[in-house]
Structure formats: C-alpha cells, structure tokens
C-alpha cells in the first residue's frame, strides 16, 4: 500500500465522513420518533389513516432508495409549485437536503414496521391490567406499552441504524460528497482502487461498529431489570 496516497486520501474521506454522520444523525433523530409515531398510527382504530400510513410504508419499503432519491431530487424539482414555494425549494433545491429527506422518509417506513411489530407483541394482559388500574391511554402508552415495545424493538432498530449509515452512501449519486462520493472521485483520480476501497470501508466499519456498540449499551441498560430477575430464579 502506498503510504503517501493514504495520507492524501484520509483528509478527504474524513470530510466525507462528516457528511455521512450528518445524514445518519438526521436519520436517527427524526426517523426514530416519527417512525414510532407512524407505527402507532398504523395500529390505531382510524382505519383510513392507518391504511394511508401502511401504503406509505409499503411504497418506501418496496422501492429502492435510489428511485426515491431521484423522484425527490429530479422529479419534484420539475414541478412549478415546488419551485415557487421558498420552503419546498429550500428542501428540494439542495442535494444534501434531498438526501436527508429521502433517508429520513425511508427509515421512517422501516422503523414504523419494526415498532408496529413490537407494539403488537406486547401481551394483551399487560395493557388490560394498565387499564384496570385506571391509567389513561397516554399514561398506559408511556408507562407500559412504550417501554415494553422499545425493549423488544431495539435489536432490530440497531440493524436499521447500520442500514441508514449504509444507505447514506446513495447520496453520492446526487452529487453529495460523502465517504462514497469522495472514494469514487479518488478512485478515478488516482487509480489506486483497492487502497481507496479499503480506507473507505474502514471508515464505514468504524462508524457502524460505534453505532452498534451504542445500541447494545442502551439495550443492556433497558434490560437491567430482566437480568436481575433471572438471577433470582437461578
């Protein structure tokens, strides 16, 4: 491996890593709460609203992110009312904003599916017990249903975080320079394909590893009660 080349490439890729992290952070910080919300709505008794959000989720899970990205970036930019509305144009006019929007919508669809499954897996007796204690719907949600669902959903959500980090690489196809974007540019400039590939992969591995460790820590923290409970039985 050519050390000089590596030294040259790393600053670029570090700059790219910042953009990857920004997209990933938005994906988690906006995608998680909205995903939980959509998951709850899909389980609600309002049939039409639930069906709407199910269709939303089916569309975003059934089509490639690349298609969604191109629809938002190239497709919406074509519409007149989007161009004339300053707020909409602020979103669609910049490639980074488009990438963030596409990743967020995509992760909302997947997260809602994860949490829908988690909320469904809560034993009905628990919810009934909460109601029998006179808890209101909100209190039962925050004190009983949500904590139980979170613990159930966390391993799957950890995978989703890794997927968000990986999907952010597609932003490079609409000219956002994140890790993959810089890697492609460096590959075609220096022809040192293997070296650049290895360095870029290490960047992704490190980011994903840190994200996974974080999720596992949260998991451990949340299942604290379960573990001590088990010890008593032994």
Partner 1 sequence: MTDVWRFLFEQRWALSLLKGSAVTLGLGLLGMCLGLIIALPLAIIRWRKVRVVGRLVLGYTMVVRSIPGLLIIYLIFFGSVQAVDSIGEFFGFQAAVRSAYPFLMGMLAIGIISSAYSVEVLRGALQTIPEGLIEASKSLAMPRSAIYLRIVLPLMLRNALPGLNNVWQMTIKDTSLVSVVGLGELMRTAALAAGISRSPLVFYLIAGAVFLLITWVSQRLFAVCERHLNRGFLEAR
Q: Footprint of partner 1 on this chain (CB under 8 A)?
A: 58-59, 61-68, 70-71, 74-79, 162, 166-170, 172-173, 180, 183-184, 187-188, 193-194, 197, 200-201, 204-205, 208-209
Query: Minimum CB separation from partner 1 for residue 28, in Å?
Result: 16
Token pair for 15: 């700059």
Is the Cβ of residue 1 or residue 226 nearer to partner 1 in the bound state?
Answer: 1
Q: Taking the complex as a whole, how short is the minimal distance between the CB of residue 119 and partner 1, in angstroms?
A: 21
Tokens of 101: 């929007």
DSSP H/E element including 220: helix 193-222
Nearer to partner 1, 136 or 201 (CB): 201
Place of tokens 């949340």: 222
Give the integer Cα–Cα distance in Å for 48 and 24.
32
Which of the 8 DSSP states describes residue 98? Answer: H
Residue 191: CB minimum distance to partner 1, A = 8
Q: Select 112 or 172, whichever has its Cβ closest to partner 1.
A: 172
Minimum distance from CB of 74 to partner 1 (Å)? Answer: 4
Pick 140 or 157: Cβ nearer partner 1 = 157
Minimum Å gap between C-beta 133 and partner 1 is 36
DSSP assignments along 39-72, one per residue: HHHHHSS-HHHHHHHHHHHHHHHHS-HHHHHHII
Taking residue 108's Cβ as centre, other Cβ atoms within 10 Å add up to 25
Report the residue number, 25 or 209, with the smaller CB distance to partner 1: 209
| Phi–psi pair at 134, nearest 5 degrees | 85, 20
Answer yes or no: are the C-beta atoms of 26 and 104 closer than 8 Å: yes
């Amino acid at each position: 491996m050519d050390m000089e080349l590596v030294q040259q490439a790393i600053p670029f890729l570090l700059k790219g890593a910042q953009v990857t992290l920004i997209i990933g952070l938005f994906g988690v910080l906006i995608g998680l709460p909205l995903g939980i919300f959509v998951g709850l709505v899909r389980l609600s008794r309002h049939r039409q609203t639930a069906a709407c959000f199910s269709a939303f989720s089916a569309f975003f899970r059934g089509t490639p992110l690349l298609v969604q990205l191109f629809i938002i970036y190239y497709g919406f930019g074509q519409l007149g009312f989007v161009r004339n509305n300053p707020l909409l144009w602020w979103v669609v006019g910049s490639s980074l904003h488009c990438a963030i929007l596409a990743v967020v919508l995509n992760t909302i669809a997947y997260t809602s599916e994860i949490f829908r499954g988690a909320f469904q897996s809560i034993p009905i007796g628990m919810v009934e017990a909460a109601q029998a204690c006179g808890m209101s719907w909100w209190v039962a949600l925050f004190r009983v249903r949500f904590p139980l669902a979170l613990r159930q959903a966390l391993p799957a959500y950890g995978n989703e975080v890794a997927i968000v980090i990986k999907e952010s690489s597609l932003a490079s196809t609409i000219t956002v320079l994140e890790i993959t974007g810089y890697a492609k540019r460096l590959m075609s400039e220096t022809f040192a394909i293997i070296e650049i590939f290895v360095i870029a992969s290490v960047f992704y591995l490190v980011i994903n590893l840190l994200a996974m460790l974080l999720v596992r820590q949260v998991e451990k923290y949340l299942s604290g009660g379960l573990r001590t409970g088990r010890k008593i039985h032994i």
